[in-house]
Structure 1
Amino acid sequence: MLEKMSEMIKDQLSHDGEITLETKFEEDLGADSLDIFELITTLEDEYDIEIDAEELSDVKTVGQMVDYLKTKGIE
């Protein structure tokens, strides 16, 4: 899942560096709230799920996002 998530993040945020589970959306990727909202929309479309943005208010790293998706049954 990390590889697929990395590709989505790179496309969405025009990031060309390495993305790990420890990568922070705001600090490492420079993502603002609109970027994160757009990423959530992309994830919803990709995995055909609905994501409550409020549930992600504490998600700061790629690893936390991966863990959240796993709770939704995405592997």
Structure 2
Amino acid sequence: MIFEKIAALLAEQFSVDADSITMETTFEDLGADSLDIVELTMAVEEEFGLEDMDEDDLSGIATVADLVRYLKGKLDD
């Protein structure tokens, strides 16, 4: 469920097919720059009802799998 929502957000933001996004996809693969990451963070916060995505936490997120793990941890709190 989390992966599907993330894939949809990434597909929309980066104009790629959601089916092309895997857990191993990196944000670098998608051509993300720092502005893209900020926009993605805001979209993720809105989608998942989060208000406290910490910049330090996000610095270790490089792949879709990293983001899914991060969100599972936040949502289980």
TM-score normalized by the length of structure 1: 0.89
Structure 2: runs of 5+ lacking an equivalent: none
Structure 1 consecutive aligned stretches of length 4 or more whose deviation exceeds 6 Å: none
Q: Name stretches of at least 5 consecutive residues in structure 1 with no aligned partner.
A: none
Q: Aligned residue pairs: how many?
A: 73
Query: In the alignment, which residue of structure 2 is the partner of 1:53?
Result: 55
Structure 1 Cα separation of the partners of residues 35 and 69 of structure 2: 21
What is the CA deviation profile of residues 25-63 of structure 1, one whole-angstrom value per residue up to 9, with x for unaligned ones?
01x111111101100000111111121122110110000
CA RMSD after TM alignment: 1.3
Report the secondary structure of 1:37's partner residue: helix
Q: How does 1:17-32 map to 2 (within 5 A)?
A: 18-26=20-28, 28-32=29-33
Q: Which letter does structure 1 place at the counterpart of 2:66?
A: Q
In structure 2, what is the equivalent of residue 15 of structure 1?
Answer: 16
Q: In structure 1, what is the Cα distance between the partners aligned to 2:34 and 2:9?
A: 16
In terms of mean alpha carbon deviation, does 12-21 or 42-51 score higher? 12-21
The percentage of aligned residue pairs carrying the same residue is: 48
